[in-house]
Each structure stands twice: as structure tokens, then as C-alpha cells.
């Protein structure tokens, strides 16, 4: 709420005499597919989460009920014959946008006409709602912005040359291009990367430009994308390119040994087998970032090491809770040095170019921070970790038959129970130790086989959120949002409809 975008929205709202003086409530959305079980078939779900920008980032990241489940989006499937059909792909994307419009339509009146709401301090205030950032990974950003794969949703950069400087992509520009190429959607697709026959959900709401509201994704863009999938893999490609296969494998084995030999220290994770395991989470990649730069020393050119150093500086600065003008200058300096040293990968023929959307997104971070503030409270790790308590654990408690309705009902009951317990405690009706014991009882009851899991360590129990909420005044520092994050999983498909609890 401290960014320029919110102030600009407030200025627009203040121009209307009927809404002048009202508080602006920023709605933050997030969605991400998840698999609840790989042993019993394709049990995939597509939850939609909602939060507000009026809470601090550490509250949103700390599982204090600042992020709630509002519904499940449909996952469409068809036969193999039509899976690659253009009309079916358009149908899936339009269904996504139509579902969002339907879910959010109850908020639309409150975006133009003020409403009276009671705040946590007990006072009533006039409020105006506004849709803001959407937290998701690049795959879904493509669908949200109505663009073609490998194009950027925030600027008009061409996918074959994302290294250059380009102007911002706006909804006004896209609508003008669609009107210009109304009968030539193929040209619009090829030359501008815009899918013209999709009506975005943003067209149904005021003061909304989805291209400006695509949240930066620290998890998938920086940690899993640029670091793990790009830089680390490029080092392996470099070693395999200049050495024979046997020697390259020997060097990679030695790098793994160096990773495993990292000394025990607070904040450092011990990789007993190096990085040689199949399923990687964001926590795994973040832990590897702390030790990897030392393990490749002596095996790669110095510019590669400098590339990693500049990237790590950029990543850690972007993860700050508070970013000042001086910090922003340091971020831009790290980004500049990263691009300078990264040219080593082209000069040694490891890469032909850097036309990679996730890596290109780093260029937009300085401007985004000025508009919306620190990006660490707008990361997809928040929604991924929310899957555990909002989808996976309720699924385990269900009968597994038509589980969607049971998951929705469980979430409703848990939310009501959490609200009641907090209210009873605030009124002095229950002493705090009694509340905690009740929460632990319900957590064990809902967790089933996982009842013995330690709450602070794995964010495990469904009621860990509620326990943290009760203890918030005594324990302001909560676990990181990526704690307990699920590993990357293959996405499947199930029949489904758009459900809203």
C-alpha cells in the first residue's frame, strides 16, 4: 500500500465527490494448480486465493489467515484428438477469464459505490474496493494477459530479443491493436503476441490494467527459474562442452561433494548427497544458493562466478522487507553487473541469447518496487504453501469420493472455528492456554495420520494458521512463507466446474 500505484488509485477515487474520503481496499488474487495425490490418479485442483493489500507483508507471509480460499477454478480436459486444437485452447483460456469474472462479480458494486465496513479497531469507515496484483507463475500470467507464450506481459518486447529496452504494455494499447487487426488475428498473434479472440476478465471491472498488475514471482522467476533452471544448468552444459563426458561427470561429482561438505552453521542446510535428488522445492533451491558459488570456484571462468555473485545480490536485495532508494540503487547496480557478466555464456556458446521471459522479468523489478513496494509479500510461495492447509489436508480428511464439496465444507468450518476462538479469547471467555490446547486437539483430529507432525517446523496442521493467529501478539516473527512448500509436480487434469464456497 506504500507504492505509487496505490496512491494513483486513491487520487482517481478522490476525484469522484461520492467516493472522496473513502479508504482504498486493495484486493490481491492468486491461483495455482496443485496435485493432492499421485497414487490414486489425477487428483488435481485449481484453487483461487484472495488477500488484501491493507495488511503488512509479514502478516501475509506468516499464515495468519490473511490469505483465504475463495473457490476452485475449472480444469478442462478433452480427448487426445482435440487436445492441441486451437479452438479448445481458446475455450480453456476464455473459461478461465469468465470464471474469474463470475467469482469476483459480487465485489464489482463496491468498486464504484462506497460501502461502510467495520475495521479491526471497532470503528466504521467508508471503503472502496479495487482489484490489484495477481500472484501466479509465468504459465498463468500468459493466460491472464492474453498473450502468446514467450512474450512478456508487462512490456512490448519481442520474444527473440528480450534483452532490449521496450515500452510498457497496457490494456489500452492491446485493445487498440485488437481493433486495428480485427479481421487479422493471425497477424496480431505473430507480430504483437496478442490473442485477440479472448475477452479478459479485467474488461468487466473499473480502473484495472492486468499488464501492470502481474506480480513479480521471486520463487519461479529468480529461485527456480533464473538460478536453478538457467544458471546451474548452464554451468553443467559448459563443463560438458569443454571436457569429455567422463571428465565432466567427475567434475560434477566433485561439485556435489563440495556441496555436501559445507560446514554446519546457522542458516545453512546440509546436503548429504549434494544436489543429486529429483524433487526440488523452493527451500531446496534457496539453500543451494548459499553454498553453490563456492563449489564451482576453479572449474568455471571468473566471469561465471561474478555472474552468480551479481545474481545472488539481486535476489537477496529483492527479498528485503523494506526497500529504500539506496537499496533500489543497489538492486539496479546488481542487475547491471549481472547482465554484463552473463555475456560469458554467449561467448563460450552455452547460450545463443537471453530471450528468456523469467530472466527478462528481472528488468521490471525496480519499476515494480516503486509501484507496489517490496515483492517478498507477493510471491507465489504464499499460494503454494497455502495449498497444504487449504487443499491437501482437507483432502486427506475427506472420503476421497467427490472430495471437492468436502474440501470446501472443511475450509468453511475451520475458518469459522478460528474466528470464534480468536473472538472468545479477545473477550476473555477462554484463557489462552485453553485455546491453544483446543487448537492442537482439532489439528490432530483433522491431520489424521499426520497428527504427530510438529506445527512450527512444517506448517503442517490445518490449524497452524489459527494457532499462529492466536499467538501473534506474543510471537510477531513467524515462519517464512516458503516453509513447508510443496515440491514441483506434474500437472494433470480432471473434470470440474467453478465452485465458490
Give the closest residue to 469 by CA, choosing from 62, 28, 61: 62
Among the listed ranges 22-31, 62-71, 111-120, 317-326, which one has the minimum average pLDDT value? 62-71
pLDDT at 366: 94
CB 459 within 8 A of CB 63: yes
Residue 439 pLDDT exceeds 70: no
CB 258 within 8 A of CB 295: yes
Residue 182 pLDDT exceeds 90: no
> Greater confidence, 286 or 453?
286
Among the listed ranges 32-41, 83-92, 223-232, 394-403, which one has the minimum average pLDDT value? 32-41
> Greater confidence, 454 or 49?
49
pLDDT at 468: 43
Confidence band, pLDDT 50/70/90 cuts, at residue 278: low
Residue 471 pLDDT exceeds 70: no
Give the three-state DSSP class for 63: coil
pTM for the model stands at 0.82
Residues above pLDDT 70, as percent of the chain: 84
In the chain, where are the structural domains located? 4-216, 219-377, 382-470
Residues in the chain: 501
**H-run or E-run covering 459:** none
Confidence band, pLDDT 50/70/90 cuts, at residue 438: low
DSSP 261-301: TPPP-TTPPP-TTTT--S---HHHHHHHHHHHHHHSTTTS-
Which three three-digit cell numbers place residue 199? 475477452
pLDDT at 481: 41
Residue 457 pLDDT exceeds 80: no
CA distance 184 to 81: 27
pLDDT at 441: 56
pLDDT, tens only, 339-371: 999 999 999 989 888 889 999 999 999 999 999
- Determine the average pLDDT of the residues in 150-163: 90
Residue 334 pLDDT exceeds 80: yes
Give the three-state DSSP class for 153: coil
Among the listed ranges 224-238, 292-306, 313-327, 459-473, which one has the minimum average pLDDT value? 459-473
pLDDT at 461: 37
pLDDT at 462: 36
Give the three-state DSSP class for 68: strand
Alpha helices in 105-216 (DSSP H): 138-145, 171-180, 185-192
In this structure, the dihedral spanned by the alpha carbons of residues 37, 38, 40 and 46, taken in order and rounded to 10 degrees, is 50
Residues above pLDDT 90, as percent of the chain: 48
| E-state strands within 78-235 | 115-118, 124-135
- Determine the average pLDDT of the residues in 32-41: 77
Amino acid at each position: 500500500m506504500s507504492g505509487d500505484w496505490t496512491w494513483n488509485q486513491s487520487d482517481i477515487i478522490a476525484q469522484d465527490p461520492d467516493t472522496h474520503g473513502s479508504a482504498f481496499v486493495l484486493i490481491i488474487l492468486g491461483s495455482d494448480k496443485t496435485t493432492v495425490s499421485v497414487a490414486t490418479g489425477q487428483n488435481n485442483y485449481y484453487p483461487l486465493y484472495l488477500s488484501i493489500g491493507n495488511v503488512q507483508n509479514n502478516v501475509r507471509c506468516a499464515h495468519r489467515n490473511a490469505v483465504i480460499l475463495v473457490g476452485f477454478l475449472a480444469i478442462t480436459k478433452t480427448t487426445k484428438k482435440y487436445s492441441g486444437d486451437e479452438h479448445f485452447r481458446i475455450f480453456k483460456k476464455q473459461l478461465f477469464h469468465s470464471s474469474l469474472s463470475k467469482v469476483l462479480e459480487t465485489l464489482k458494486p463496491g468498486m464504484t459505490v462506497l460501502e461502510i465496513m467495520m475495521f479491526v479497531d471497532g470503528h466504521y469507515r467508508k471503503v472502496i474496493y479495487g482489484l490489484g496484483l495477481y500472484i501466479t507463475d509465468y504459465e498463468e500470467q500468459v493466460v491472464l494477459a492474453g498473450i502468446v507464450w514467450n512474450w512478456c506481459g508487462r512490456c512490448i518486447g519481442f520474444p527473440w530479443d528480450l534483452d532490449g529496452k521496450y515500452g510498457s504494455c497496457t490494456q489500452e494499447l492491446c485493445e487498440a491493436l485488437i481493433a486495428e487487426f480485427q479481421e487479422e488475428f493471425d497477424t496480431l498473434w505473430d507480430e504483437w503476441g496478442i490473442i485477440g479472440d479472448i475477452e479478459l476478465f479485467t474488461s468487466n471491472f473499473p480502473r484495472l490494467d492486468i499488464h501492470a498488475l502481474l506480480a513479480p514471482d521471486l520463487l519461479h522467476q529468480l529461485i527456480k527459474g533464473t538460478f536453478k533452471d538457467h544458471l546451474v544448468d548452464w554451468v553443467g552444459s559448459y563443463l560438458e562442452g569443454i571436457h569429455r563426458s567422463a571428465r565432466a561427470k567427475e567434475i560434477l561429482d566433485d561439485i556435489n561433494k563440495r556441496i555436501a561438505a559445507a560446514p554446519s552453521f546457522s542458516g545453512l542446510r546440509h546436503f548429504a548427497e549434494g544436489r543429486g535428488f529429483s524433487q526440488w522445492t523452493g527451500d531446496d533451491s534457496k539453500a543451494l544458493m548459499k553454498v553453490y558459488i563456492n563449489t564451482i570456484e576453479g572449474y568455471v571462468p571468473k566471469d561465471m562466478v561474478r555472474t552468480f555473485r551479481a545474481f545472488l545480490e539481486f535476489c537477496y536485495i529483492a527479498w528485503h522487507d523494506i526497500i529504500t532508494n539506496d537499496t533500489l540503487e543497489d538492486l539496479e547496480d546488481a542487475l547491471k553487473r549481472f547482465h554484463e557478466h552473463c555475456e560469458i555464456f554467449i561467448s563460450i556458446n552455452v547460450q545463443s541469447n537471453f530471450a528468456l521471459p523469467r530472466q527478462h522479468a528481472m528488468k521490471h523489478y525496480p519499476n515494480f518496487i516503486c509501484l507496489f513496494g517490496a515483492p517478498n509479500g507477493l510471491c507465489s510461495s504464499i499460494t503454494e504453501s497455502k495449498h497444504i492447509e487449504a487443499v491437501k489436508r482437507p483432502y486427506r480428511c475427506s472420503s476421497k469420493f467427490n472430495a471437492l464439496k468436502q474440501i470446501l465444507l472443511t475450509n468453511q468450518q475451520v475458518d469459522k472455528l478460528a474466528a470464534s476462538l480468536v473472538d472468545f479469547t479477545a473477550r476473555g471467555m477462554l484463557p489462552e492456554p485453553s485455546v491453544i490446547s483446543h487448537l492442537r486437539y482439532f489439528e490432530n483430529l483433522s491431520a489424521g495420520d499426520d497428527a504427530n507432525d510438529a506445527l512450527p517446523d512444517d506448517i503442517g496442521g490445518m490449524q497452524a494458521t489459527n494457532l499462529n493467529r492466536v499467538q501473534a501478539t506474543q510471537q510477531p516473527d513467524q515462519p517464512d512463507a516458503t516453509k513447508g512448500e510443496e515440491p514441483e509436480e506434474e500437472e494433470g487434469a480432471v473434470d470440474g466446474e467453478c465452485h465458490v464456497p
